[in-house]
Amino acid sequence: MAYVDLESAIAFGIALSLGLLVGLQRERTTDRIGGIRTFPLIALFGALTGRIGEVHQVFWLVPAGLLSVTIILILGNIERLRGEEETSGITTEITALMIYLVGAYVMVGEKSIAVVVGGTVAILLHLKPSMHAFARHLPEKDLRAIMQFALISLIILPILPNKTFGPYEVLNPFKIWLLVVLIVGIGLGGYGAYKIVGARTGTLLSGLIGGLISSTATTVSYARRARNQPGLIHLAALVILIASTSMFLRMFVEIAVVAPRMALYLIPPLAVMLLVSLTVCGLGYLRVGTRDDVMPEQTNPAELTPALVFGLLYALVLLAVAAAKDYFGNQGIYVVALISGFTDVDAITLSTANLAGQGKLDAATAWRSMIIATLANLVFKAGAAGALGGWALFRYLLLLFALPFVAGISVILLWPTGA
């Protein structure tokens, strides 16, 4: 059975990501020697020389690789040095070096990684028109979102200490920020979907994409629209319900990442609420019907300040859950879940799933806490929508939320304790 060095695979992935990031930025400039394809190739070339040199103690290989790239840059830039307007680029030359090293790595390194790197090179070459068009037409706002996510995930995360601090030994800066990266990544994925499908998404996608980015922000946006356009009350309420339902998808991803071994115990009770909510969404959709909807402009989910706020909130909830369990038992945890659920469900989901995965919290207490937080969040959304959108929206939301709310209470009371 072939052995895959996971650490090497991650290192190559990081090199590729950094190369794409720099290449994306350089693609948008007029004074450049390479763009969105050349810089990833150079990064992978450097990673391969470093890995081969490390494995076989060929310490001169990295300087030789650097010299090769330098020579190619000079030769590929002769036209510009002579004052010519156009340059032919150096992608072909870098590719030749890459394929040489991939061939060498097949013999001396992990064959699976060599295959992946070689395939990545081929894909980068094949997607030339699409990648150039994407980089050049990417709005500045979206480029900023990508760069901020890079700051959060590639710069801040690696420098944080990976050890526990404080009381109850539950505060690990690296692991806390890793989950911040997860939450921001989910939101950024929703934002990417919004940019792909456009603002005119339709009712279902408006709720789904809005929920992935931020169900609370979606609630606020559509409540304000309902106040200004009374004819949109039923549409706004349905979108808010769909956004709240998509919250379960976020929770499932979070559980699978934080506590994969506990997923079979934590997800089924939540899945009951999801199925009930989907049923209500279907009934509501039949009433509203198929209609186009212009989705409100979505904000960048990778902003640093909200990420810091969520990291702080998650740390506080993690500490509060541990302290509540120590002083008051499960009842204390449920109070923490109720309070935190009014503002955010992700924090209590991640904290209880994390503790359950470590064996510090039983599964039943964990999923009950998640459901309590979800119910509290529904109450908060209904109240916020009523305050911003008016009494008519509030009444209709209560009607839509009633069945999922009752289902949540029923699961808490009737679900087998040992399940």
Q: How far apart are CA 395 and CA 134, in angstroms?
A: 45
CB atoms within 10 A of CB 357: 19
Q: Does residue 399 have a pLDDT over 70?
A: yes
Give the per-residue pLDDT at 368. Answer: 95
**CA–CA distances in Å: residue 287 to residues 106, 280, 283, 284:** 60, 11, 7, 5
Q: How many other C-beta atoms can be found within 10 angstroms of the C-beta atom of residue 4?
A: 13
% of residues, the chain, pLDDT over 90? 26
What's the rounded mean pLDDT across residues 115-128? 75
Rounded Cα gap, residues 8 and 16, in angstroms? 12
Q: How confident is the model at residue 43 (pLDDT cuts 50, 70, 90)?
A: confident
pLDDT for residue 275: 96
Grade residue 221 by pLDDT with cuts at 50, 70 and 90.
confident
Q: Given a cut of 60, is residue 382 above it in pLDDT? A: yes
pLDDT of 106 reads: 59
**Average pLDDT value over all residues in the chain:** 81
Mean pLDDT over residues 375-397, rounded?
A: 92
pLDDT exceeds 70 at position 219:
yes
Phi and psi for 166 in degrees, rounded to 5?
A: 75, -175
Token digits of residue 68:
């090769």
Q: pLDDT exceeding 70 applies to what percent of the chain?
A: 81
- Return the pLDDT at 336: 93
Statement: residue 302 has pLDDT above 80: no
pLDDT at 2 over 50: no
Determine the pLDDT at residue 232: 81
What is the model's pLDDT at position 58?
Answer: 76
Residue 142: predicted pLDDT: 79
Per-domain residue ranges for the chain? 6-138, 143-414
Closest CA to 238 of 194, 283, 193, 298: 283
Mean pLDDT of 213-226: 84
**What is d(CA 176, CA 315) in angstroms, rounded to the nearest whole number?**
7
The whole-number pLDDT of residue 13 equals 78
> How far is Cα 233 from Cα 388, in angstroms, rounded to an integer?
12
Which candidate, 91, 102, 81, places its Cα nearest to that of 126? 91
For residue 235, the model assigns a pLDDT of 85
Mean pLDDT value across residues 206-231: 81
Q: What length does the chain have?
A: 419
Query: What are the pLDDT digits (tens) for 262-293?
Result: 999 999 999 999 999 999 998 888 877 655 55
Show the DSSP H helices in 1-152 as ranges.
6-27, 38-56, 61-76, 78-81, 91-108, 111-126, 128-137, 140-150
- Helix then strand then coil, % of the chain, to nearest 5: 80, 0, 20
Structure tokens at 307: 């990420």
pLDDT at 234 over 50: yes
Phi, psi dihedrals of residue 218, rounded to the nearest 5°: -65, -40
**pLDDT band with cut points at 50, 70 and 90 for residue 1:** very low
Q: What is the mean pLDDT of residues 76-85?
A: 59
Give the burial string for 312-336 (b: 16+ CB within 10 Å, else e): ebbbebbbbbbbbbeeeeeebbbeb
Mean pLDDT in residue range 132-144: 76
CA atoms of 357 and 256, how far apart (whole Å): 10
Q: Could you tell me the pLDDT band of residue 81, with boundaries at 50, 70 and 90?
A: low
Tokens 């391969």 locate to 48
Q: Express each pLDDT in 92-111 by its tens digit.
A: 667 667 766 666 665 556 76
pLDDT value of residue 189? 78
Contact 224, 243 (CB under 8 A): no
CA distances from 236 to 134, 167, 296 (A): 33, 44, 12
86: left (phi over 0), alpha (psi -120 to 50) or beta: beta
Predicted confidence band at 186 (pLDDT cuts at 50, 70, 90)? confident
Over residues 13-28, mean pLDDT: 74
The residue among 283, 185, 233 whose CA lies nearest residue 386 is: 233
Confidence bin at 360 (pLDDT 50/70/90): confident
- Residue whose structure tokens are 């060599």: 114
